[in-house]
Structure 1
């Protein structure tokens, strides 16, 4: 059974949330972005027999209520805590993807006694982004350039001031198509991500990305990860356009870590290798 609920944070912001699945283990999913919304339909379906899956849209995004921030890592960690409390969970497994992997990690560091296991999917580690961001941009343009017309239109829309809603959606689909190594199906996969189209919160994206960057590469973050007594599964797609070497910093720091890399997957590994993704997460949930 699937139920939709509203979580109210301590500062009065309304968050969309949904519970599904019938497994005994509670599992909260943290979507990427920042500024996007939950796109975990497939993941919830894959894991519903293993866990009771809770999905939510982060503040000011997607189906959650409008707000003006604040767009800080600490505020989003507190929002995730509000989700946990709303559903009456003493401890929960967390699965975060991309920016959501960073959020889930920061929540685990802040509240290790409330997290049974962390599944860190397609994140970018804990080092400074100068170590990977330039290569990511180059890889993105190279993959878009495999279809020159796609790259040309993406560039046109990127430089277009005041894009309307339809143009913003078209830009996002082109942008996301670079996340998939199968060029023939990339647009199809990206179109699924954009359905339904709920719009991108640009202020959230800009300010929260800056806040997350400022937290990376600090001695305190390395030390906190080294002291973390929670099992962590790192999941990578080898064909992610973000260099996977960025995640080495996190893997080296963690004392209880397993890493699984899917050789033919990109940034959304459950799309290209759903069975292997399901098996890897199942093993992690069993050990938490």
Structure 2
């Protein structure tokens, strides 16, 4: 099976942090870059990588401070994640690639695509905000997140982080992620810059997602030329884990189109 395992990758030093990336799948296929969500790592895509790895070269990147990547001294922002991904892409000399980004990874991917400085063929966002308005109820949810509350709700996530991360500091990571989610500045959500995206976009949302509203997802699809929208019933914030059997055929069709 083609899955990310955190045993066959490499590290690259980027602005005082050690970023981990791993390559799997078909070495000769088109490149697919995977960007995960907050408190996660690239293994959160392992429900869909075996199928995609048959035809695609898969590259997973652990975001700064998560998985096997260190946090470093810089403030964690979506722009910072964007710059990290751009540095890995340049390091690997990728001439063309597509991105599948979940949650925070999808938001960073939107920023990358909106900048139009890298040769992106296709972009898939899963459970990703393009903007987070001041009155969005999700802001209230993010405000309440602490290291302790996350450990209580998602103990497996905490345990994986403690085992995997080379410089674990869960409380510092929780503070950094909360600030990332609530950032209203230019280094945060892409907002109306998404209108600059020229790559084909597939917006994916689980219909039971408590963070990203259906309205927010449709607004994103409406702002980007050549965008398609997939709302998956009975799926939560992570449909790639929750309903992979429904998501995979659409991903394959979109990427091959």
- Select which of 175, 185, 193 maps to 1:214: 185
Counterpart selection for 1:20 from 19, 24, 40: 24
Q: How many residues align?
A: 240
1:229 and 2:233 equivalent?
A: no
Retained in 1: the 8 A contact 2:31–2:98?
Answer: yes
Report the 3-state secondary structure (helix = DSSP H, G, I; strand = E; otherwise coil) of the residue aligned with 1:69: coil
Point out where structure 2 has 5 or more consecutive residues left out of the alignment. 163-167
Q: Conserved in 1, the CA contact under 8 Å of 2:205 and 2:237?
A: yes
Corresponding residue number in structure 2 for 1:181? none
Could you say which residue in structure 1 is the equivalent of 2:254?
Answer: 284
Q: How does 1:111-130 map to 2 (within 5 A)?
A: 111=116, 113-128=118-133, 130=135
How many angstroms does 1:104 deviate by?
0.6
Distance 1:130 1:102, change over 3 A: same
Match of 1:29 in 2: 34
RMSD (CA atoms): 3.0
Find the aligned partners of 2:135 and 2:219 in 1 and give their Cα distance.
Answer: 13
Question: In the alignment, which of 188, 196, 214 is matched to residue 160 of structure 2?
Answer: 196
- The answer on 1:250 being equivalent to 2:254 is no
TM-score (norm 1): 0.73
Is residue 91 of structure 1 aligned with residue 62 of structure 2?
no
CA-CA distance at 1:82 after TM superposition: 1.2
Task: Give the match's secondary structure for 2:84.
Answer: helix
CA contact (8 A) 1:131 1:246 kept: no
SS in 1 for 2:89: helix
Deviation at 1:93, TM superposition (A): 0.4
Is residue 259 of structure 1 aligned with residue 229 of structure 2? yes
Choose between structure 1 and 2: higher helix proportion: 1
Please give the per-residue CA displacement for 1:90-135, whole angstroms capped at 9, x wherever unaligned: 121011111111011001111354211110101123351523426x
Q: What CA distance in whole angstroms lies between the structure 2 residues aligned with 1:32 and 1:255?
A: 25
User: How far apart are 1:216 and its partner, in Å?
Assistant: 9.7
CA apart distance, 1:236: 1.1
Q: Matches of residues 22-171 of structure 1 in structure 2 within 5 Å? A: 22=26, 24-33=29-38, 35-38=39-42, 39-111=44-116, 113-128=118-133, 130-133=135-138, 137=141, 163=148, 169-171=151-153
Q: Distance in 1 between matches of 2:117 and 2:21?
A: 23
Q: Bigger CA drift: 255-264 or 70-79?
A: 70-79
Please identify the structure whose Cα radius of gyration is greater. 1
Deviates more, 1:255-264 or 1:43-52: 43-52
Residue 31 of structure 2 aligns to a residue whose secondary structure is: strand
Residues 265/118 of structure 1: CA separation in 2 closer, same or farther (3 Å cut): same
What does residue 185 of structure 1 align with?
Answer: none
Tell me if structure 2 keeps the 8 A contact 1:73–1:208: yes
